[in-house]
Structure 1
Amino acid sequence: MARANLLLSADLERAFADAQSGKLRYVKVSIDDESFVLSAVGAAAEPRADVEQLVTTHLDAQQASFVLLCVDTNVAALRWVLLAFVPESVSVRDRMLYSSSRDSLKKQLGLNYFAGEFHATELSEVTWESFLEARKKQAADAPLSESERLLKEAAKLERDTNVKSSAMGVVPFEITQNVRDKLRLLQDNKFDWIAMKLSEDNESVEVVKSLESVELIDVPATLDRRSPSFVAYRYRAPGATSLIFMYVCPEDSPVRLKMVYSTCKATVLAVANEELNIKFDHTVSSVSSCL
């Protein structure tokens, strides 16, 4: 089955970043118009009661959705279980869409945040015990491969930086003044394309390319396919424009570099959103050798 490659809405990206504070038990996600969108959130209180509230208040026995639920909100590095709730009564298209897009959702939010997943077709299957069992099952999987061990190390590096979106107290990466200036020009319609990369010491974000005009058809040729980068792009459609933030990473990039960029993404977005008041309509993460 082909895997759906949907966009991640800016509201969902911000909500999931804010959820790392431990104040939320779950984040509900729906698919709307080829995008993952925020549907609902639930505050963290008593775990079993939180799941019961999710079922009675936010799940519809006739509608598919995803739920990201935090099993333990009292630890520094939160881990989430992904529920794909897909009732038998939904259309074949929706069943295929939700089934094929799970990996895309996890990759765009960050694979290392997830500690398990399960599938349910009826409300009665969505219980606190189901989430616990999903986490237990993943923990009992086969021994880690070499690449998985590297990912685990990189995940620890990511957690140690304590990136919490706009709620963070210390920004672990410096955003240079040139980046701020160019993003403001993007906001003022002076540029369509701002490409950014980490410096050689991986401590600051710098502008590497800025273009006044880039047509959608030219995006693949404009992207740097050799090393990871961030791109702020203004897509100009007839009668409207959209601001898109892209994290692009070649598949063969070193695992550690991938994770450093994945961590840094939250810092760049926080500066854009909170300091510069730039609200991206979509965020796209592509870990691939081609687009």
Structure 2
Amino acid sequence: MSSASGIGAAPELVECFAQAVTQNDLRVIKVSIKNEALVESGKWNKQGDFMSDYAHIVNYVEDNVPAYLLVRLDSASGSEWLSISYVPDNAKVRDKMLYASTQSALKKALGDYRFKDSIFATSKADLTTDGYEAHQRHVNAPKPLSAREEAMQSIRAAEKAAGLNKYQGAGERRSHAGSAPVGFKWTSEAEDAVKDLANREGCSKLVILSVNTRDESLVLKQSSRDVSPNQLASFIPSSEPTYTFYLWSRQRNGEDLNSISMWHLSTMTIPNLVLVFIYCCPSGSPVKHRMVYSSGVVSVVNAAKGMGVSVAKRSETSDPEDINEAFLQQELSNTPSGSSTPVSGERVAFAKPRGPPRRR
């Protein structure tokens, strides 16, 4: 089999390795490139266990001459090998290029599956027992994770700490707030503050909740009364995600009362009270927090519904400064700027598309 360099394994090398596989007494086979072919250039039998024999590996190579070393590992099958590509820094440039581009061809010619591990050495210092142990520690070390993978790992660890087994997801956790599955454990303060929204006394109420990511519990961050829509931005944090329940006491004027009939307010008994849920996730929030909060929006709203608190509109923003009276009006009407929505009950004629032109 030839490589990218055009160099292939000599038949004598293939036969030598095949015999070594069947005979368990050989420890090392040295392979060199000679006359544009991979050939066997030295063999050494076992003298002891793998590590004691490996201590002599450095004696089988020269300071400035590249070579391959095929070393038998001490395995149960006896047919697992270590491939060492020794290309010293002070070797000739042409030799370094040839050995670097031929290594994969060598293993393919002898059977990739037989080589359990590979080492690339650039000096004799890399071929010591200390160097091999350092290589093993590197191979067995945990692989580096991306930011998203680290966040998911933290979430799984939190779920495990909360008592979830591998067959359960976050939706299986149950809160004392109700019997329906929810994503977070509610603290009593958070639960009482949200339940208080059901007592509609004709005044605006604000409840801001946050997640304790250490145990994924939902905690009360702030509860206030008589907060106007244009004051919301000063209450909602701009550095961390939050869940906000805002019971808006609208003015009783003709325009509002005409438009309020367009909205479905569920169990609302006072027509000028509107309950809005706002999920605010600033763009600078940590990745883990963004993932935890975004996955819990639906569960939080459903849990509130289980407490007798129905949300008329669910909104989302990344900047608290966006939240004001105009924002709420826009969200509640669900009408983009510059467009109009037909009044409830008004039928809009469907424009039938034109068919293809007739052939003449």
Q: Same fold (TM over 0.5)?
A: no
Structure with greater contact order relative to length (CA < 8 Å, sep ≥ 6)? 1
Q: Which has the higher strand share?
A: 1
The two structures have a TM-score, normalised by structure 1, of: 0.43
The two structures have a TM-score, normalised by structure 2, of: 0.35
Larger radius of gyration: 2
